[in-house]
Structure 1
Amino acid sequence: MDKHVQIIGSERKILPNARRASEANLNDEISVLVIVRRHSKDKDSSAILNDCQFSKIHYTHEMFEKNFFIHPDDLKILEDFADEYGLKINETISSSGIVSLTGSIENLSRAFQVEMADYEHPHFHYRGRNGYVHIPQKLSHIIHAVLGLDNRPQTKAHFRLMQNGDIRMRKNGQPSSFTPLEIAKLYNFPQDIDCSEQCIGIIELGGGYLKDDIDQYFSRLGVPAPEIVDIEVDGAKNSPTGDANGPDGEVALDIEIAAAVAPNAKIAVYFAPNSDAGFLKAITTAIHDKVNKPSVISISWGAPEKSWTKQAMDAMNKAFKDAAALGITILCASGDNGSSDGVDDGTVHVDFPASSPFVIGCGGTRLEGINGSIAREIVWNEVNNGSTGGGFSSYFMSPEWQKNLQNSQEEIQNERRGVPDVAGNADPLTGYKILVGGQEYVFGGTSAVAPLYAGLVANLNQQLGRPIGFITPFFYQMTSSNNSFRDITDGNNDTVGNGSYAATVGWDPCTGLGSIDGLKLLNALSAYFSSNLIVQ
């Protein structure tokens, strides 16, 4: 057999507080995702894929599939590899560069030279590995990543449930919580737009929703209940338990906010296992969904960059790049644990996938509104109930469109990707009224911001008659005359105790460029598209 070599960036470590419970059952069959290089039929066609700037030109799904694919020669080599180790190729998704391999743990362990075991963590059990994944040297230029050998829970949902003892009142005596429609009005979203031509994709890595909740919620709002399509990925499905403080709370939050601010939009929910392989498969399924064709995707799940393998982040970032080429906007919650992102090591961290340069990172504010107007908006930082994530990536370099920020932060000078890009109401004390399990709760967290702005993007796409696509660079190109952001200059998200980070004039690593004024952004985009030749 050929010499095996390490896949750079594939190293895994056993989770803290986990103990080895037993050897993995060598006869158990599992599936893994192999991320394979793609070829381009026409090299000139890759220009859009390599351009990280805001583009008016997007691939159709059909064009993309014709131009980016796994070469038959590479697939034949992979088939020979699978045969050699007693594995089976059960799915090939050429446009995504994904090959799914199934086999026994014994054969997969031999093929990739890993040792798998069952581990017990205080909160869950998982199949894990320690060290690197290895592949035959002849495949080193073909295989970029292997995901799914380790199935530990990869992410957490970024929502916060307001506790009963936390209820506060506005100065005028009204409750501090809002419906999504009230938030949309405060942020000056376009009103009364029928988004029936739009589809919003939502990624869910656990939980589910009850149709009765959806019908009742939208009946109370006076908004048509959305058409919801469930897409089951790798065996995961809509599995509600009625627990508002668990994944069900996330699912209800995402659907109810997005559908409320984008009336009549179809909601496509991609249910997938909470693992790095499951997360990637959900994203690629949504991006390349030729049936539902979501033009915007909301992601409210994430984890500190430190907890990801580099191979997984690279694979997901490439998928987000595909979305940009296809004209699909991706919004990701930046996390609810402030500048530490929940890592207890005394230093600062940011959340992935919000740190990807091909998504809109969504931070959080505390929004106070009186009589339909914004009275005050500051950085969300409730010491005992969360704080907006934000900071600088330790992995991604600063994209071109973020390099000219007028900010004295040392990390900007060192050209690191800054997070978030924008922000919106996320404090549970000024949160969103959401129905879960037949009961109304008030939710906050940056999980609420991603679907809120996903609904806005659906509105913009409908009004403009075209997808806005990868809009993040456009945000940073705006001048004072067409600035569509409410700058947040008060507060900080310091959860480490070293003074990082504080809001300031312009972009900052707490609330990014600020909260979005929907109509101003619509006007800016309308002017941009009308003054330039549009090619689709």
Structure 2
Amino acid sequence: MRRTTSRRTMSALAITALAATTALTGAGTAGAALTATAAGPAHQARQARPVPAAIGHRVGKGQYPSPLSLADCQAQLQSSCYGATQLEQAYNEHPLFGKGITGAGRTIVIVDSFGSPTIQHDLDVYSAQYGIPSAHVKVVQSGTVPPFDPTDGDMLGWAEETTIDVDMAHAMAPGANIVLLETGVSETEGTTGFPEMMNGEDALVKQGVGDVISQSFGATENTFPGFDQGDYSSLLNLRYAFKDAAAHGVSVLAASGDNGSTDAGPDGSTLYPYQVTSWPPSDPLVTGVGATTVQLDAQGNRLSPDTVWDDPSTNSGASGGGKSKVFGRPLFQAGVQNVVGNTRGVPDVSMLGDPLTGVWTYNSFGPDDTGWELWGGTSVATPIFSGVVALADQAAGHRLGNLNYALYALGALQRAGAKGTGLTDVVGGSNTYNGVPGQPVTPGYDLATGWGTVDASKFVPAIAALG
């Protein structure tokens, strides 16, 4: 009886949400049309380079022989710190686990340059620490991946990012398969950076490998060649993997960035002094994931509502978000035109990412990078959400594809006061950072947290019903 009732509830929600989608899409939109909005002072555009979103968001002295307790983190580091069991409790996953919804039979694809030579061992250690079964990490390479050099700072950064991505995805969907897509090029300019990633993703999609792709990297739209002249072809020509993913029903996620309403300039380090947005989270075929501050007790229970990851004093970063200069307002954002205007707004949803309410990971690719580390950033939030998507894929019994239409339909229902969407609004603050005015965090959809965050026990069946 309980199962039958649940199915009826989900069906009713699906019908209502689909009606909301119809209402949204009937309002008229700019679709995927390109806009040529001026981006401020002209600059010499260089080719964009993908950088891992985790850069600069490690907390504390680095490596610890074991994870500190929450109390010790607060006393020693003035931050909170969480493990897998606390994350699962925070996002209310245990009711799903009790029904066998663990991500079993679904596959999360993690994309990182170079990868980590010790990722399987390190995931085994992470899993054992938190009493969850480990998972086999299948490594696939796109192009020629050079041998790992522990003295290469670039490789170390990507290895750290790889560890974060794999640990977080596994923590949230411990039954899901993990495929790590390693590419052999990083920090070089566009034509030899992003294409390696897109080629690898596209190959996996065409082979039928993967249900959700998690990307913890991005590059500012303004840094792509031709941007200042209104020629976006260098960016648009990289979308083939996302188009194929959409055609094959594969969900694609990307971190919205860690610099609030601005992001890195052509040199990769200096931030723009005005509002910008990054790709791939700005792509309408991608679900952009922002970051929140999450206050938990030692068991993972919330002590207060989530807030946007902002940074009024600690200079730790802020949740990325804003309006695309390349993509017009997509169909699914017709109902939030008052917020996004005629452009694609980012992000779509948010999860834990504030480094001061960070997460533990373990790596051993040292010699100076071995042990437990505390991290934050949208590169934490994105793989966390990838695990939730894997749960929803399992609950639906099939891939959910581009999540944005269902997500915005659920958002419209939430805004109308409907129960059971699994979305939890985040209100207050903004993503102002580095002197660049941010986007206000308002009731409903906003350009710093999207539709807010999720209660997985409700969100998973709700979005699965729309699949």
Q: TM-score range by the shorter chain?
A: 0.7 to 0.9
1:338 lines up with 2:254 in the alignment: no
Indicate yes or no: 2:359 matched with 1:432.
yes
Q: Any unmatched runs of 5+ in structure 1?
A: 1-52, 56-129, 132-149, 530-536
**After superposition, where does 1:154-173 map in structure 2 within 5 Å?**
154-159=49-54, 160-164=57-61
Partner of 2:326: 395
Cα distance change of structure 1 residues 287 and 518 upon mapping to structure 2, 3 Å threshold: farther
Task: Write the distance in 2 (CA, Å) between the matches of 1:195 and 1:526.
Answer: 13
Matched, 1:377 2:306: yes
Number of the residue aligned with 1:20 = none
Q: Is the 8 A contact 2:407 2:463 kept in 1?
A: no
CA shift, 1:522, in A, is 2.2
Aligned partners of 1:181 and 1:261 also within 8 Å: no
What is the distance in 2 between the residues matched to 1:267 and 1:467?
15
Secondary structure, aligned partner of 1:368: coil
Relative to structure 1, the CA distance from residue 194 to residue 526 in structure 2 (aligned partners, 3 Å threshold; closer, same or farther) is closer
Match of 2:288 in 1: 361
Describe the shift of the 1:475–1:500 C-alpha distance in structure 2 as closer, same or farther (beyond 3 A): same
Q: Is the 8 A contact 2:115 2:180 kept in 1?
A: no
User: Residues 469 and 231 from structure 1, CA distance in 2 versus in 1: closer, same or farther, beyond 3 angstroms?
Assistant: same
Quote the Cα distance in structure 2 between the aligned partners of 1:345 and 1:202.
29
The residue that corresponds to 1:286 in the other structure is 201
Q: 1:225 to 1:172 in 2, by over 3 A?
A: closer
Deviations 1:441-462 (A, max 9, x none): 1110000111111111111111
Once residues 154 and 231 of structure 1 are traced to their aligned partners in structure 2, the CA distance between those partners, rounded to angstroms, is 22
The structure whose RCO (Cα within 8 Å, separation 6+) is larger is 2
Q: SS of the residue aligned with 1:330?
A: strand
**1:455 partnered with 2:387:** yes
Partner of 1:315: 237
Alignment of 1:210-289 (within 5 A): 210=118, 211-236=120-145, 239=148, 241=150, 246-272=157-183, 273-274=185-186, 275=188, 276=190, 277-289=192-204
Cα distance per residue 1:290-343 (max 9 Å; x no partner): 556101000001111111232332123332122111100001001111111134
SS at match of 1:223: coil
**Is this contact kept in 1: 2:172–2:384, CA < 8 A?**
yes
The structural deviation recorded for 1:164 is 4.0
- Pairwise CA distance, 1:523: 2.5
Query: Cα offset for 1:262?
Result: 1.5
Shift of 1:498: 5.3
Q: Given residue 300 of structure 1, which amino acid in structure 2 is its aligned partner?
A: S
Residues 138-192 of structure 1, C-alpha deviation per residue, up to 9 Å, x if partnerless? xxxxxxxxxxxx9x77111111111349x99679978711113322321123325
Greater per-residue strand proportion: 1
Q: In 1, Cα distance between the equivalents of 2:138 and 2:147?
A: 10
**Alpha-carbon distance change, 441 to 345 in structure 1, aligned in 2, over 3 angstroms:** closer
CA contact (8 A) 1:162 1:429 kept: yes
- Report the equivalent of 2:91: 187
CA displacement at 1:496 relative to structure 2 = 4.9
Instruction: Report how far residue 363 of structure 1 moved.
Output: 0.5
How far is the alpha carbon of 1:283 from its aligned partner?
Answer: 2.8
Contact 1:305–1:351 (CA under 8 A) maintained in structure 2: yes
1:303 is the counterpart of 2:198: no
Opposite residue 288 of structure 2, the aligned amino acid is G
Paired amino acid for 1:156 = V
Q: Following superposition, which runs of at least 4 residues in structure 1 exceed 4 angstroms of deviation?
A: 167-175, 242-245
Q: Rate the CA distance shift 1:347–1:381 in 2: closer, same or farther, 3 A.
A: same
Higher-Rg structure is: 1
Contact persistence 1:207–1:241 (CA under 8 A):
no
Count of aligned pairs: 379
2:21 and 2:409 in contact (8 A); partners too: no
- The superposition leaves residues 369-397 of structure 1 with CA deviations (integer Å, 9 ceiling, x where unpaired) of 13533223111123411111100001110
Going by fraction, where is helix more abundant, 1 or 2?
Answer: 2
Query: Which shows bigger deviation, 445-454 or 226-235?
Result: 226-235
From the superposition, tell whether residues 305 and 483 of structure 1 become closer, same or farther in structure 2 (CA, over 3 Å). same
